[in-house]
Amino acid sequence: MIALFAMLTAVLIALIIYVLVVTRWPVRLPHPGLQATVDVLKAADLRDEEVVRMAAEYIRYADARNEVAPKGDPYAERLARLTDRYESVNRVPLNFKVYKTPDVNAFATADGSIRVFSGLMDRMTDDQLMAIIGHEMGHVRNRDSLGAMRKAYLTSAARGVLSAAGGALAGLSASQLGSLAEKYAGARFSQQQEYRADDFSFGFLVRNGYDPRAMGEALDRLQSLSKEGMGGMSEFMRLFSTHPETARRAARMHHRAEAYRKRLKS
10-residue mean pLDDT profile of the chain (266 residues): values are 50 42 46 44 68 90 95 98 97 97 92 96 97 98 93 76 47 77 83 95 97 96 74 44 72 96 88
Instruction: Calculate what percentage of the chain has a pLDDT beyond 90.
Output: 50
pLDDT tens digits for range 231-244: 434 444 445 444 55
103, 119 in Cβ contact below 8 A? yes
Enumerate the β-bridge partners of residue 68.
Answer: 99
pLDDT tens digits for range 8-40: 444 444 444 334 443 444 445 454 443 444 454
Q: Check if 87 is active-site.
A: no
pLDDT tens digits for range 238-263: 454 445 588 899 999 999 999 999 99
pLDDT (0 to 100) of residue 14: 43
The H or E element containing residue 61 is helix 48-64
Give the C-alpha separation, 132 to 194, whole Å: 12
Enumerate the β-bridge partners of residue 95.
Answer: 113
pLDDT (0 to 100) of residue 219: 94
SS (H, E, C) 132-169: HHHHHHHHHHCCHHHHHHHHHHHHCCCCCCECCCCCCE
pLDDT tens digits for range 222-233: 888 876 655 434
DSSP string, 104-118: --EEE-TTSEEEEEH
- Start-to-end CA span in the chain (Å): 83
Chain CA centroid to CA 107, Å: 6
DSSP-derived secondary structure letter, 7: H
Of the residues 50, 136, 194, 217, which is catalytic? Answer: 136
